[in-house]
């Protein structure tokens, strides 16, 4: 009895957006990544605390760089965007796109840290705020 092998599908539920994604099982590694481990989450918080980089001064270049960092899907990159924009916010110099990127990275990091460290979103936000305050 010939014919193609039956396809296997997986479903992933994203609670924040209440979205269920169905896809072929073989496509999963190219579409989604695993949540970072607790060890990686602690490393992220430490790196965030010590990161002294700067954001681009020109708003359009800054917005493009931040959008690209977010699209890469790397929480360590989100953290740099979050801290840089938090600094700008403290100086009162956020544009609308900056505010959107700040909020988006805060949500992404809060969710990632909460899952990785077994914390509530409020606890994760507090850890994030303390790590980015320096």
Domains defined along the chain, listed by start: 33-132 (1.20.58.1290)
Query: Which pLDDT band holds residue 2 (cuts at 50, 70, 90)?
Result: low
Bridge partners for 50 per DSSP: none
pTM score of the predicted model: 0.83
Q: DSSP string covering 41-110, please?
A: HHHHHHHHHH------SSHHHHHHHHHHHHHTT-HHHHHHHHHHHHHHHHTT---HHHHHHHHHHHHHHH
pLDDT tens-digit profile of 72-110?
Answer: 999 999 999 999 999 989 888 789 999 999 999 999 999
User: What is d(CA 24, CA 9) in angstroms, rounded to the nearest whole number?
Assistant: 4
State pLDDT tens for residues 8-55: 988 888 777 788 989 888 888 887 888 999 999 999 999 999 999 888
Quote the tokens at residue 10: 């997986």
Residue-level pLDDT at 92: 84
């Amino acid at each position: 009895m010939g014919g193609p092998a039956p396809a296997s599908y997986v479903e992933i539920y994203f609670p924040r957006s209440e979205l269920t994604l169905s896809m072929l099982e073989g496509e999963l590694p190219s579409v989604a990544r695993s949540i970072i481990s607790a060890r990686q989450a602690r490393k992220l918080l430490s790196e965030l605390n010590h990161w002294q980089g700067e954001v681009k001064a020109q708003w359009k270049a800054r917005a493009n760089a931040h959008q690209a960092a977010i699209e890469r899907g790397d929480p360590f990159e989100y953290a740099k965007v979050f801290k840089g924009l938090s600094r700008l916010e403290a100086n009162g110099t956020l544009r609308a796109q900056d505010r959107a990127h700040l909020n988006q990275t805060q949500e992404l990091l809060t969710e990632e840290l909460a899952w990785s460290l077994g914390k509530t979103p409020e606890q994760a936000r507090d850890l994030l705020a303390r790590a980015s305050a320096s």
